[in-house]
Chains A and B, each alone.
Chain A
Amino acid sequence: MSTAVADQHPRPDVAPLGRMAAAQVRATLLFYWRNPAFFVFSLVLPVFFYAFFGLAFGRQRVAGNVTASYLIMAQMGAYAVSSILVFNIGIGQANRRATGQDRLLRATPLPSWIALFADIVGGLVLSLLSLLALFVLAVAAGGVRLDPLEWGSLLLRLVLGSLPLLGLGLAIGYGASQNAAPALANLIYLPMSFASGMFIPIQNLPNFVRTIAHYLPTYHYAQLVLGQFGVSEEELWRSVLWLAGWGIVLFAIAIRMYRLDQIRKFA
């Protein structure tokens, strides 16, 4: 009897990928919604810094209509997006490994790339929220005026330029333990951001730091974003090339770390 029923309703072999991805994205967003402590730092700190520095020192004219307020907004935006990628997505993987969530998911038919995709979408949503808050403040209080095309271009630079740092975050998240990951991320990412002029204008940094900065992904990310206002120290193609190079290196390390973790657990 049961075979006859099965004939009438042929059962699919696997669940549709779209349905899996939608469910996973929903779960990721719910997780953030219920645990604001996990992202409030990355979301609020850049806005807070902007309110502090951007509004205090922003009146100074840099080029044409562009004031320091524009640049500080752009750099705080870069800081916001990259810290979400490194701290929320990257270290999120370390937490998932430590709590055995990866084992449970691995035993289900969910492809692991869908779980990662959902994490990236979640990070993107956080980034956009953070940027939105920052932009609103910059327009309302910082006197920033851009046309829609310029906003779009800035957003694109902020999001695409941050991708190598996603590689950094994942490398740490797959390679380090839950306890070590946040410390390691702070140790690598924070000095890198400082040296690249994200908090203090790079012109004010000592020469040797500026020399080192030229090799850092965060420096080229900052330059890419500042290029939106024509105050970059390097041409656009140079920033893109450097970021692409760093992206390949960091993602290669991330993939290596992922494989090692998989072999340790599942080989």
Chain B
Amino acid sequence: MSPPDLEARDWRPDRPSPSVPTVMEPVVELIQARKRYGSVEALRGVDLTIHRGEVVAMLGPNGAGKTTSINLMLGLRRPTSGQVRLFGRDPGDRRARSRCGVMLQESGVPMGLRVRELVETFRAYYPNPMPTARVLTFAGLEAQAHVPANKLSGGQLRRLYYALSICGDPELLFLDEPTVGLDVESRRAFLDTIEEFAAEGKTIVLTTHYLEEADRLARRVIVIDQGRIIADAPPSEIKSQVAGKRVRFDCVGPIDEAALRGLPYRHLELRGGHVQMLTNQPEEVLREVFQRGLVIRNLEVVGADLEEAFLALTARRAPELVEVEGRQLETEEAAG
């Protein structure tokens, strides 16, 4: 074991090997990673490589395996089988962990400590911390620096956890559902904050429920469902695969599936006079509806949530999915 160790010392990150461009340096690797909790298989063999500078969104419904994947990458959980590498090391290695920042879904801080004090405490855990003032600016917490953590609002508390995740000036940032539970305004502001950090060329891995969030932040979207990666592609490609809008209306008079046949929907639900469709072209759907002379009431067009979007992706569009995966394989081969 010792000779390779000595060799490894010769290619410290500040002396990149000339043959390998730094851009392709793998930061996170999952190799055939499986995770089982009792009888539940949370991850069923995931292969995934994330390179330096990538902003990756992991997307999927509740219980799909997003958080489990992040926990494995962080060393918060150990894989039942397979391998996980963080900066080429075991995720439990403090040298690897010192280069990461983490924002978890469930976490707490000691009561009564003020924002600035918490940031200063966490900075001490890292070898090359970011200056406290800069952390507070990034997180938008300058005005709350002297507020005790337990007096913060929900949105401010998320910002505090964000501040704690970046205070080590990490090369790699994990954000597990960073905007969950935030109102629209706070979410928008928070996404700006993350974008700002991504602009520094950092590697970011985030999980989310919201396609628009993934679309806005990430250049690569990994869709997980039932413990497997079902798609790995740029957001635009994923977006074209899923139904982004939900159209709902009540029909005056009788209606059946035949009356709606040919409309560009991905998923249709008929219950009495209630019609619900998932589609990417709500305008087309409505034009058709009116052209066919259907009289409707209580029309509603809203963004589909992820569960609904993936209903279309997983259940209906299986052949296309294979295509997406095939394309991904090709791009990887081309890159390798």
Contact = CB atoms under 8 A, between A and B. Distances in A.
A27 B108 contact: no
A95 to B, nearest CB: 9
Contacts of A99: 108
A104 B108 contact: yes
A89 to B, nearest CB: 14
B16 interface: yes
Which 6 pairs show the lowest CB-CB distances between chains A and B?
A: A34-B112, A99-B108, A23-B124, A6-B14, A104-B107, A107-B102
Contacts of B123: 23
B111 A12 contact: no
A108 interface: yes
B28 to A, nearest CB: 14
Given A14-B95, A14-B98, A267-B78, A108 B108 contact: no
Interface in B95-124: 95, 97-98, 100, 102, 104, 106-113, 117-118, 120-124
Interface string A118-134: 00000000000000000
Given A15-B98, A101-B107, A103-B104, A23 B120 contact: yes
B15 interface: yes
A19 B124 contact: yes
Interface string A1-45: 001001100111111000110111011001100110000000000
Contacts of A14: 94-95, 98, 127
A107 to B, nearest CB: 4
A110 B113 contact: no
A100 B176 CA distance: 14
Contact of B104 (A34, A104, A266): A104
B148 interface: yes
Interface of A: 3, 6-7, 10-15, 19-20, 22-24, 26-27, 30-31, 34-35, 96, 99-101, 103-104, 106-111, 265-267
Contact of B107 (A6, A10, A13, A100): A100
Given A27-B118, A104-B104, 19 more contacts: A3-B16, A10-B14, A13-B94, A13-B127, A14-B94, A15-B124, A15-B127, A15-B129, A20-B124, A24-B121, A24-B124, A101-B109, A104-B109, A106-B76, A108-B122, A108-B168, A109-B97, A109-B126, A109-B168
A96 B332 CA distance: 44
B109 A20 contact: no
A27 B124 CA distance: 11
A22 B121 CA distance: 9
Nearest to B174: A107
A107 B109 CA distance: 13
Given A27-B117, A109-B126, A13 B102 contact: no
Contact of B98 (A23, A34, A109): A109
B106 A100 contact: yes
Contacts of A31: 110-113
B148 A34 contact: yes
Interface residues of chain B: helix, strand, loop or mixed (majority): loop
A109 B16 CA distance: 25
Contacts of A104: 102, 104, 107-109, 161, 164
A31 B13 CA distance: 38
13 contacts: A7-B14, A7-B15, A12-B128, A14-B127, A26-B121, A104-B108, A107-B104, A108-B97, A108-B125, A108-B168, A109-B94, A109-B97, A109-B98
Interface in B1-20: 12-16
Contacts of A3: 14-16
Contacts of A19: 124
Contacts of A100: 104, 106-108
Given A23-B124, A27-B117, A31-B113, A111 B94 contact: yes
B77 A267 contact: yes
A26 B118 CA distance: 10
A37 to B, nearest CB: 10
Given A34-B148, A100-B107, A108-B97, A15 B112 contact: no
B110 A101 contact: yes
A101 B110 CA distance: 7
A31 B118 CA distance: 11
Nearest to B117: A30
Contacts of B111: 31, 34-35
Nearest to B167: A108
B130 to A, nearest CB: 13
Nearest to A4: B14
Nearest to B108: A99
A247 B168 CA distance: 38
A71 to B, nearest CB: 37
